[in-house]
Structure 1
Amino acid sequence: MKALVLAGGKGTRLRPLTHTSAKQLVPVANKPVLYYGLEAIRDSGISSVGIIVGDTACEVREAVGDGSKFGLDVTYIPQEAPLGLAHCVLIAREFLADEPFVMYLGDNFLVGGITDLVDAFREADNDAQILLTRVAEPQFYGVAELGPDGDIIGLEEKPEYPRSDLAIVGVYTFSPAIHEAVRAITPSARGELEITDAIKWLIDNGGRVRSHFVSGYWRDTGRLQDMLECNRIVLEAIQPDVRGTVDGFSEITGRVVIELGAVVENSVIRGPAIVGAHSKINGSYIGPYTSIAEGCVLEDAEVQYSIVLGESTIRGVSGLTYSLIGRNVEVSQASGVPNTHQLMVGDHSRIQVRA
């Protein structure tokens, strides 16, 4: 069995951050979202992975390499434009050959892995098995309708009036029958080959499509609030690990990870939180659910419930919360009345805020 991982796309909902970075490589607890998916695939017993790449191909290749650090054998498959999920299956035909496979959207965050889904598919005689979860706002997702035996009998893509609250999570298992389906369909109104249309073709032509429910936590990481919530979930599970240097004037409370080479001076860190390698924290407060990546500098700053990417600097700013700050960003103090700040900042930016 193989895996097809989708790591193209534009990441429009995380702009401006994704103007200069692949959305699948935005970190959760200092580890790219894509890595969690690759680890879940490995843990399910799959080793051969094709990764669909687009405009950010070079960045994805640099981050993943040949896959050996994950215990995987990775093949890259370029997609000239984001022409739909079914188009990804179409262009991966040579790689997939006639083997069953998992298709995994690389910006999905799934706690609990996919081993149950893969094992269930291997044991059954289905043409497709789709991971589902109940959501409060199904109109924003692909939605599945189930028959009494758990077979999927209908699919809708972001319907105005959903027939169920069962959202398609973005992890699928397919038999080779899907290849005929993706060749048979035509582009949708938005000009894409929709995987929901291909699955409906399977159903209409006598294929068996089963449901499988998420056993753990799932989030589509396409929005700021989703990234911060995923970060919170992962940090909840970390164990204290202080490998950096912490002086006697600092207070470290709760589950805090301070990576090798990091320096903490005259500061307070209240976990769960993580400070990346070679970062410097001086005279600052880092509150719960905060990830500080590698090579950052915080001086006289207060940050909580936020993600700060690598090589960024925050000086003289308090009340920074619910924020996602890109790489090589400088946030500094400006004169005026103190305020609480909410920032979503792209790479190589410089921001002055009142503090």
Structure 2
Amino acid sequence: MRGIILAGGTGSRLHPITLGISKQLVPVYDKPMIYYPLSTLMLAGIRDILIITTPHDADQFQRLLGDGSRFGVNLTYTQQPSPDGLAQAFVLGADHIGDGPVALVLGDNIFYGRGMGTQLRRFENIDGGAVFGYRVADPSAYGVVEFDESGRAISLEEKPAKPRSHYAVPGLYFYDNDVVQIARDLKPSARGELEITDVNRVYLERGKLQVEILPRGTAWLDTGTFNDLNDASEFVRTVQHRQGLSIGCPEEIAWRQGFLTDAELRERAEPLAKSGYGKYLLELLAEDAEAAARRLELVAP
């Protein structure tokens, strides 16, 4: 499975900050925003990832992330000249997708919850499409999914004035290879965009759309406004301070998944030690070494 991060758009709801920097590079507590969706795809076991940016911001992303080798993944880039809809990602990324399945995550969405990686890796060989439902107080700003009495998805609407449920569809989507042609065949909506909701509707009409409710306790944070951005930063800070574990740390995920060796993680951590970010990575290595030593003591004669 290949992955795509859509990191385009003007970020107009975050002006004047985003007049000088891409929204997806704005910090969410101690990391650039894009680290979080990148981590989500890595948790799903995806190592070949395309990042779609605006032409204006492309150099900034490449300077920050490079070719992905620092995280044990392969990153490539393409540009979206104008924000013509989320589904355009599959048209722009057709060569990257090839003849296999694909996962799309929006560059301003943060996901956090127990067992997230295990849950996402189930879609590696998907037949059809899979999206998620997440209960929100005000779903009118999102794509909304409606369920029947048996819990089966029966309709999808994009930003409805009168939502038929409280379940929004977060910015994380899994599809088989049919999505490329489906996206190419879409007609622009009244907003002039290729809507991801229309892609999902095609799969729903074919009877091939899975809609899974994200369990209670899972966090989905959309960082599109000043308040949302502040809330996300405060959430990350609080959880990290309380648990002593980092959220959305791609180097840690790469190491735990075997994409990076101990030596490679140390090499990446040491130049970052002064910020505390690198210190955290070095502490992971020290804790792992201590745990290994204790295991040896237990099996020693």
- Please state if 1:222 is matched with 2:228: no
**SS of the residue aligned with 1:122?**
coil
Letter paired with 1:91:
L
Match of 1:212 in 2: 212
Tell me how far apart the structure 2 counterparts of residues 172 and 148 of structure 1 sit (CA, whole Å).
24
Change beyond 3 A, Cα 1:20–1:260:
same
Tell me how far apart the structure 2 counterparts of residues 87 and 275 of structure 1 sit (CA, whole Å).
35
Deviations 1:243-268 (A, max 9, x none): xxxxxxxxxxxxxxxx9658xxxxxx
Match of 2:250 in 1: none
Query: Per-residue deviation at 1:8?
Result: 0.8
Aligned ranges 1:233-252 → 2 under 5 Å: 233-239=235-241
Letter paired with 2:167:
L
Match of 1:184 in 2: 185
Which of these two proteins has the greater Rg computed from alpha carbons? 1
Match of 1:247 in 2: none
Is the CA contact 1:126–1:210 (under 8 Å) kept in the aligned structure 2? Answer: no
Match of 1:75 in 2: 76
Is the CA contact 2:43–2:120 (under 8 Å) kept in the aligned structure 1? Answer: no
Tell me how far apart the structure 1 counterparts of residues 187 and 210 of structure 2 sit (CA, whole Å).
24
Unmatched 5+ residue regions in structure 1? 242-258, 263-273, 278-355
Deviations 1:222-274 (A, max 9, x none): 11111111111111133599xxxxxxxxxxxxxxxxx9658xxxxxxxxxxx8
Deviations 1:12-62 (A, max 9, x none): 111100011110111112201110211221122110001111131111111
Whose helix proportion is higher, 1 or 2? 2
Aligned ranges 1:100-179 → 2 under 5 Å: 100-112=101-113, 114-122=116-124, 126-148=127-149, 150-179=151-180
Letter paired with 2:131:
I
Match of 2:247 in 1: none
Is the CA contact 1:181–1:202 (under 8 Å) kept in the aligned structure 2? Answer: no
Unmatched 5+ residue regions in structure 2? 245-271, 280-301
- Please state if 1:20 is matched with 2:20: yes
Letter paired with 1:99:
G
User: What is the aligned-residue identity percentage?
Assistant: 36
Q: When the two structures are superposed, what TM-score results if normalisation uses the length of structure 1? A: 0.65
Aligned-pair Cα RMSD in Å: 2.4
TM superposition outliers: structure 1 runs of 4+ over 6 Å: 274-277
Tell me how far apart the structure 1 counterparts of residues 274 and 139 of structure 2 sit (CA, whole Å).
45
Match of 1:93 in 2: 94
Is the CA contact 2:29–2:237 (under 8 Å) kept in the aligned structure 1? Answer: yes
Is the CA contact 2:104–2:172 (under 8 Å) kept in the aligned structure 1? Answer: yes
**SS of the residue aligned with 1:197?**
helix
Change beyond 3 A, Cα 1:129–1:149:
farther
**SS of the residue aligned with 1:46?**
coil
Query: Per-residue deviation at 1:92?
Result: 0.7
- Please state if 1:34 is matched with 2:39: no
**SS of the residue aligned with 2:45?**
coil
Higher relative contact order (CA 8 A, sep 6+): 2
Whose strand proportion is higher, 1 or 2? 1
